[in-house]
């Protein structure tokens, strides 16, 4: 019998899949789903987010158009859900989350599979997307990625719920704001869970801003806290770290941080005198990385070297800013990025 876990396993197997050639929309998923007349690349070059969720459901054993909508169209997915009583506004693991570009169902344009659900966010796996959604845009990417976004994101239109074995329509339990939320909280996360981590760190004496943004200062504080408490010092708040934080500082001594948080490194002014690309190093590359991180590409980390994921971020930003998508940073891209 098919469960959400089986569909999620099928999706996880495709993480890292990329279009070949880049920008063509041609992937193993479109080849498996089939040709659609009128599209480039012999009918395989169509937007493939809905085809991806369809193939994952099919591979897991769900019955097409009975248990889920087998289609390459997001609006068709919505219509199936409404017609079959499978349209919901509260997420559950295994749902298909539909995104809109105008706040209504008429603007539905992208879909992803819900992998995890917390009180404040959902973690998704999607095709034809990118590794970030900092500006709210979910679709029009080069591959299959995982991301975590706030449930309050204005682009979320609603959820299509396939018919799984033994499934119910009970909404996910609301997080109580104190207990471990059921998933890792880490660098780049935003929302109530990140804020709760910051509040617990403050009780231990850390001088960090409680703003719900799990950034560099919070990441450093967590790593040092873990080291001081003989936990794996990876900066990721899992059940053991959450338990230690929730216990609070010893009652007999005042809370005191053993190490001061490191300030965010400010990038020196860079002189942009070259076209930057994969493999380049230097202060100018660092400045572009910092700008991309500020724009929401949180899977990048500060550094002086241009690696493959930076090329992905640059191409995605170029597409969204309306400049030539070549994966290199020259005068036009610098201007579009505000540098």
Give residue-wise pLDDT tens across range 283-292.
888 889 988 8
Q: 175-264 maps to which CATH number?
A: 1.10.101.10
- 4-160 sits in which CATH class? alpha beta
pLDDT at 110: 95
How far apart (Å, rounded) are the C-alpha atoms in residues 195 and 212?
4
pLDDT at 327: 85
Q: Where are the domains of the chain?
A: 4-160, 175-264, 283-337
How far apart (Å, rounded) are the C-alpha atoms in residues 266 and 260?
18
pLDDT at 272: 78
Q: Taking Cα atoms as reference points, which of 198, 187, 189 lies closest to residue 148?
A: 189
Q: What is the pTM of this model?
A: 0.52
Q: Which two tokens stand for residue 154?
A: 């204005």
pLDDT at 36: 94
Angle, CA 247 vertex, CA 241 and CA 249 arms, to 5°: 105
**CA-derived radius of gyration, the chain:** 22
Which stretches of the chain score pLDDT less than 70? 1, 132-139, 166-174, 182-183, 252-271
φ and ψ at residue 237, rounded to 5 degrees: -90, 100
Give residue-wise pLDDT tens across range 43-81.
999 999 999 999 999 999 999 998 999 999 999 999 999
32: left (phi over 0), alpha (psi -120 to 50) or beta: alpha
pLDDT at 303: 85
């Amino acid at each position: 019998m098919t469960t959400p876990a089986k569909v999620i396993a099928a999706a996880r197997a495709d993480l890292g899949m990329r279009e070949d050639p880049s920008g063509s929309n041609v992937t193993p998923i479109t080849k498996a789903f089939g040709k659609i007349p009128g599209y480039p690349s012999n009918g395989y070059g169509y937007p493939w987010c809905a085809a991806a969720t369809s193939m994952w459901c099919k591979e897991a054993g769900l019955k097409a158009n009975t248990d889920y909508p087998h289609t390459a169209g997001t609006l068709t997915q919505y219509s199936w859900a409404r017609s079959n009583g499978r349209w919901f506004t509260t997420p559950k693991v295994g749902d298909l989350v539909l995104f809109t570009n105008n706040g209504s169902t008429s603007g539905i344009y992208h879909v992803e599979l819900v992998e995890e659900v917390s009180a404040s966010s959902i973690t998704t796996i999607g095709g034809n997307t990118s590794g970030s959604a900092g500006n709210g845009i979910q679709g029009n990417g080069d591959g299959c990625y995982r991301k975590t976004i706030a449930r309050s994101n204005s682009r979320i239109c609603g959820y299509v719920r396939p018919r799984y074995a033994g499934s119910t329509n009970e909404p996910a339990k609301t997080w109580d704001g104190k207990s471990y939320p059921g998933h890792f909280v880490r660098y780049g996360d935003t929302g109530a869970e990140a804020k709760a981590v910051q509040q617990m760190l403050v009780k231990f004496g850390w001088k960090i801003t409680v703003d719900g943004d799990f950034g560099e200062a919070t990441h450093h504080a967590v790593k040092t806290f873990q080291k001081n408490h003989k936990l794996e010092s990876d900066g990721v708040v899992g059940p053991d770290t959450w338990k230690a934080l929730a216990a609070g500082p010893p009652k007999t001594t005042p809370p005191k941080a053993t190490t001061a948080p490191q300030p965010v490194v400010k990038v020196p002014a860079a002189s942009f005198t070259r076209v930057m690309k994969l493999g380049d190093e230097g202060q100018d590359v660092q400045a572009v990385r910092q700008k991309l991180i500020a724009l929401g590409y949180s899977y990048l980390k500060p550094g002086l070297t241009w690696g493959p994921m930076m090329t992905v971020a640059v191409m995605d930003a170029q597409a969204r800013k309306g400049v030539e998508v070549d994966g290199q940073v020259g005068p036009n891209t610098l201007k579009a990025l505000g540098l």
